[in-house]
């Protein structure tokens, strides 16, 4: 319990507060009401018990609004306005005053900050008793109210704002402006020179990229022009700020400052993504076209440049057999190798799928483009290790040189594409320069592309069958099914031509399955001791549907698996040997015979023959046709026959057309022959007639040809 003296002091203080001719209140630093007198409550039309020490600023604002003050304000709006006044006064050294009109009275409010204590706020009634001043007081109150709202709006702007007078001194700035440039309190005060603010910004990491002097000269020019302007300021710390400059009639100006750094970064990312391939990060077709358009003026000035188009040989096989994840990883490695092969300033783009292009130049001569093509072929063809698979892939390259082969991007791209088509037609893994006349070849290729699927629907494809003669028994042991296409407009199209196109457009699996079904159906009509041989494309062999399609073809035809012989080329063995070996073993386990076709023309090695379960080796016709004129070929044939015998594999000589060739392969123990000497490929009906007619079967020496 306080002493009597303490009670006396308390009453004295209370009496002094109540005797004051104006309202008074004291707020703590956390804006809690500490002390107030009844005049303060009266100012707002409040009963004395409506307020209490310890109330928060928001609670007091609610009481004031509910008493009918500040018409049109919500509690939140009044609270934000009061917060703004307290914060602004905290940044000032001298007390700040505001005049407002409350309950038909003009009230002057003075805010004084006491560090460590809080704020002392007085509310003085300055209403003139004369009626003629009432209207003026109301107008002043309205202005004060508008000023309060303006201050609230300024402090709540999303952007930084500052007002500078004609003497280049700060009039006002909001918190966002101060925060944007991390300005200390003393640089936020009215009257601060703009140059002091700029110097501070320069010294604290906000140096413009153009340099301080250039920046200042540009700012002076903007101010002197007296026009509204929008300026983008880029700073060395990476920030980008948009400044809108709005001049005022008195020579001063207002500026808004918006940090657009993230916006610029997002725009840069979007711009990059729109012009670059998402998988490889190489430029895409859009950016490549832009680079081509810019290069056209250089070409017209006489610079030699080249468009180099290339794609990956048999990429679809890898994508279909090893999966898209491996295919994507391969494309990424290829992109890295492309960047290594080209010069740094040259534009290399992924046009789509496995198609790429490089805009090369300037060139001293076409040999520079040839050197680039050779680097690409050599670099890309090196083995890659991808997710446990050893992958080898090649590339074919077409080159068009400007200005000889065209001066505009469209023509150069077209001609480089024509040269690429020729390179692939010439055996892949090489490059070709554009030559006149290639356009006709491309038109033919496109006709083949569009006609393949339609040809299968229209029954334009047919199978013919060429016999294989077993030399020891002089009988037909097998008939090889060969695909033929008679186009209604282009006539006969060579399988060498259309099979390659079918592989590239992804139609070979469907076409190969049709061949397999038809071959098994026809073979089921032959004598039971005669097999049918079917060639498998590397793409078809790698297909996940191969085993299923083989089983279905045999089941639908009712043909025993032992009467089916599948021929594969050496290129099948080049990648994913484990999967290849598993597929071959599965086929053999079904009872199907496996032959290596065209032995000696590709990448064959003794290790392949030992590792993979082949039943037969077919010696390519290129070795047979020169027997008698090239001793080296004769020695190769002898070696292959001996190799096959040592590994338990039979051998077949392809392309036997003369008796000298027959005698040579027979003398060295070849098991079978195939060629025009015995029979050309026969239509289905003639093939059936041949295999049924040859019983009893005469010796080959007695009758060389049966068709």
* Residue range 256-265, pLDDT digits in tens: 899 888 888 8
User: Range with the lowest mean pLDDT among 37-51, 265-279, 417-431, 566-580?
Assistant: 566-580
The predicted pLDDT at position 33 comes to 92
Confidence of residue 88 (pLDDT cuts 50, 70, 90): confident
CB-based contacts of 414-419 (< 8 A; 24+ apart in sequence): 415/307, 416/307, 416/308, 416/309, 416/357, 417/309, 417/442, 418/442, 419/309
706: confidence class by pLDDT, cuts 50, 70, 90: very low
Beta-carbon contacts of 534 under 8 Å, excluding residues fewer than 6 positions away, are 480, 481, 515, 516, 519, 564, 565, 566, 567
pLDDT at 630: 55
Does 244 share its domain with 351? no
Inform me whether the pLDDT recorded for 577 exceeds 70: no
- The pair of three-digit structure tokens given for residue 330, joined into one six-digit string: 């391969």
Window from 199-213, 561-575, 683-697 with minimum mean pLDDT: 199-213
Confidence band for 1, pLDDT divided at 50, 70 and 90 = very low
Specify the pLDDT at position 85: 87
pLDDT of residue 233: 81
Clarify whether residues 164 and 149 are in a common domain. no
653-703 confidence digits (pLDDT tens): 999 998 988 988 898 889 999 999 989 999 999 999 999 887 544 434 333
Question: Per-residue pLDDT for 3 more than 50?
Answer: no
Q: Is the pLDDT score of 434 beyond 90?
A: yes
| Most confident region among 105-119, 141-155, 193-207, 478-492 by mean pLDDT | 478-492
Please indicate, yes or no, whether residues 137 and 174 belong to a single structural domain of this protein: no
For residue 506, pLDDT over 70 is answered with yes
Residue 72 exposed, middle or buried by CB count within 10 Å (0-12, 13-18, 19+): exposed
For the chain, the average pLDDT equals 85
Q: Which of 182, 169, 196, 273 is nearest to 235 (CA)?
A: 182
pTM higher than 0.95 for the full model?
no
Shared domain check, 199 and 74: no
Same domain, 229 and 347: no
pLDDT of residue 236: 79
At 251 the three-state DSSP class reads coil
Residues found in the chain: 707
CA quadruple 274, 278, 284, 285: dihedral positive or negative? negative
User: Does the pLDDT value for residue 388 go beyond 70?
Assistant: yes
Same domain, 282 and 418: yes
Round to whole Å and give the CA distance between 274 and 291: 14
Cα distances (Å, whole numbers) of residue 231 to 249, 651, 669: 21, 82, 90
| Rounded distance between C-alpha atoms, residue 115 and residue 558, angstroms | 102
Lowest mean pLDDT among 142-151, 443-452, 677-686: 142-151
Q: Which domain holds residue 55?
A: 4-155
* pLDDT at position 461 over 90: yes
Let me know if residue 85 belongs to a domain: yes
Of 235, 266, 297, the last residue of a domain is: 266
588/465 same-domain check: yes
State how many domains the chain has: 4
Split at pLDDT 50, 70, 90, the class of 152 is: low
Given a contact cutoff of 8 angstroms between Cβ atoms, the answer to whether 651 and 641 are in contact is: yes
pLDDT-derived band at 538 (thresholds 50, 70, 90) equals: confident
Strands of the 347-352 sheet, one edge to the other: 347-352, 355-360, 305-312, 395-402, 431-433
In a domain, 445, yes or no: no
User: How large is the average pLDDT for residues 194-217?
Assistant: 80
> Are residues 525 and 429 part of one domain?
no
Let me know whether 370 and 285 are in one domain.
yes
Among 6-15, 221-230, 339-348, 470-479, the minimum mean pLDDT is found in: 6-15
Residue 273 lies in a domain: no
Is 447 inside a domain boundary? no
Specify the pLDDT at position 9.
60
How far from 494 is each of 50, 192, 498, CA to CA, in Å? 103, 88, 7
Q: Name the domain boundary from 131, 155, 179.
A: 155
Question: What pLDDT, in 10s, does the model give residues 326-369?
Answer: 999 999 999 999 999 999 899 999 999 999 999 998 999 999 99
* Mean pLDDT, residues 505-526 taken together: 94
pLDDT classification of 511: cutoffs 50, 70, 90: very high
Mean pLDDT lowest for which of 179-193, 233-247, 262-276? 233-247
Is residue 206 one of the residues assigned to a domain?
A: yes
* 454 lies in some domain: no
| Confidence bin at 2 (pLDDT 50/70/90) | very low
Weakest mean pLDDT among 57-66, 203-212, 590-599, 677-686: 203-212
Check whether residue 171 and residue 320 sit in a common domain: no
Q: Where are the beta strands (DSSP E) in 579-645?
A: 593-599, 616-619
Last residue of a domain, one of 155, 172, 202: 155
Q: Is residue 453 part of a domain?
A: no
Q: Which range, of 22-31, 137-146, 286-295, 493-502, averages the lowest pLDDT?
A: 137-146
**pLDDT at position 605:** 52
Residue 49, pLDDT > 90, answer no
Residue in the block written with tokens 């292009």: 357
What CATH number should be reported for the domain holding residue 503? 3.20.20.450
Q: Mark whether 233 and 325 lie in a shared domain.
A: no
Q: What is the CATH number of the domain that holds 189?
A: 3.30.450.20
Grade residue 135 by pLDDT with cuts at 50, 70 and 90: low
Range with the poorest average pLDDT among 274-288, 437-451, 689-703: 689-703
The larger pLDDT score, comparing residue 211 to residue 268, is at 268
The whole-number pLDDT of residue 455 equals: 92
Interval 52-80 mean pLDDT = 89
Same domain for 476 and 539? yes
- For residue 451, is it within any domain? no
Q: Distance (Å, rounded) from C-alpha 529 to C-alpha 92?
A: 110
pLDDT band at 299; cut points 50, 70, 90: very high
Identity of the highest mean pLDDT range in 90-94, 389-393, 395-399, 610-614: 395-399
- Do 391 and 384 meet the contact criterion of CB atoms below 8 Å apart? yes
């Amino acid at each position: 319990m306080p002493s009597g003296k303490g009670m006396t002091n308390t009453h004295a203080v209370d009496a002094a507060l109540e005797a004051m001719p104006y309202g008074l209140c004291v707020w703590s630093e956390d804006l809690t009401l500490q002390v107030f007198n009844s005049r303060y409550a009266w100012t707002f039309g409040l009963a004395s018990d409506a307020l209490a020490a310890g109330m928060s600023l928001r609670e007091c604002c609610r009481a004031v609004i509910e008493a009918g003050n500040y018409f049109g304000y919500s509690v939140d709006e009044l609270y934000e306005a009061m917060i703004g006044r307290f914060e602004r006064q905290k940044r000032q050294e001298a007390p700040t005053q505001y005049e407002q009109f409350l309950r038909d009275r003009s009230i002057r409010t003075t805010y004084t900050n006491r560090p460590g204590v809080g704020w002392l706020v007085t509310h003085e009634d300055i209403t003139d008793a004369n009626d003629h001043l009432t209207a003026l007081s109301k107008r002043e109150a309205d202005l004060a109210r508008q000023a309060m709202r303006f201050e609230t709006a300024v402090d709540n702007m999303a952007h930084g704002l500052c007002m500078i007078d004609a003497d280049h001194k700060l009039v006002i700035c909001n918190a966002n402006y101060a925060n944007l440039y991390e300005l200390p309190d003393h640089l936020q005060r009215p009257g601060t020179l703009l140059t002091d603010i700029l110097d501070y910004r320069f010294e604290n990491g906000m140096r413009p990229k153009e340099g301080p002097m250039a920046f200042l000269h540009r700012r002076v020019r903007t101010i002197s022009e007296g026009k509204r302007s929008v300026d983008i300021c880029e700073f060395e710390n990476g920030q980008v700020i948009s400044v809108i400059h709005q001049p005022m009639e008195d020579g001063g100006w207002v500026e808004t400052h918006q940090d657009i750094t993230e916006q610029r970064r997002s725009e840069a990312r979007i711009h990059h993504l729109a012009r670059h391939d998402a998988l490889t990060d190489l430029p895409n077709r859009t950016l490549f076209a832009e680079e081509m358009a810019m290069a056209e003026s250089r070409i017209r000035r006489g610079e030699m440049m080249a468009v180099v188009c290339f794609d990956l040989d048999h990429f679809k096989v890898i994508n279909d057999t090893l999966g898209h994840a491996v295919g994507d990883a391969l494309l990424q490695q290829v992109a890295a190798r492309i960047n290594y092969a080209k010069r740094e300033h040259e534009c290399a783009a992924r046009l789509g799928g496995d198609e790429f292009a490089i805009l090369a130049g300037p060139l001293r001569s076409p040999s520079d483009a040839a050197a680039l093509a050779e680097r690409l072929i050599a670099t890309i063809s090196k083995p890659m290790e991808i997710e446990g698979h050893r992958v080898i892939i090649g590339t074919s390259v077409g080159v068009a040189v400007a200005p000889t082969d065209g001066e505009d991007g469209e023509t150069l791209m077209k001609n480089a594409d024509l040269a690429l088509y020729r390179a692939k037609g010439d055996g892949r893994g090489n490059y070709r320069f554009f030559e006149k006349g290639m356009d006709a070849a491309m038109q033919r290729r496109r006709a083949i592309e569009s006609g393949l699927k339609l040809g299968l629907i229209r029954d334009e494809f047919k199978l013919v069958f060429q016999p294989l003669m077993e030399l020891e028994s002089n009988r037909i042991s097998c008939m090889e099914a060969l695909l033929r296409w008679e186009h209604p407009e282009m006539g006969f199209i060579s399988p060498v031509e259309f099979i390659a196109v079918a592989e590239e457009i992804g139609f070979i699996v469907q076409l190969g399955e049709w061949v397999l079904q038809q071959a098994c159906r026809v073979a089921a009509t032959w004598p039971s001791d005669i097999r049918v041989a079917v060639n498998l494309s590397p793409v078809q062999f790698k297909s996940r549907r191969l085993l299923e399609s083989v089983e279905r073809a045999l089941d639908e035809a009712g043909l025993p698996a032992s009467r089916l012989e599948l021929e594969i080329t050496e290129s099948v063995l080049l990648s994913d040997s484990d999967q290849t070996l598993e597929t071959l073993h599965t086929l053999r386990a079904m009872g199907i015979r496996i032959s290596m076709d065209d032995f000696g023309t590709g990448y064959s090695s003794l290790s392949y023959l030992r590792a993979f379960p082949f039943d037969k080796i077919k010696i390519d016709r290129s070795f047979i046709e020169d027997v008698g004129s090239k001793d080296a070929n004769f020695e190769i044939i002898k070696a292959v026959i001996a190799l096959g015998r040592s590994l338990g594999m039979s051998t077949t000589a392809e392309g036997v057309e003369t008796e000298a060739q027959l005698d040579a392969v027979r003398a060295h123990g070849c098991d079978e022959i195939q060629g025009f000497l015995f029979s050309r490929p026969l239509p289905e009906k003639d093939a059936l007639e041949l295999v049924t007619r040859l019983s009893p079967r005469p010796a080959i020496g007695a009758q060389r040809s049966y068709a």
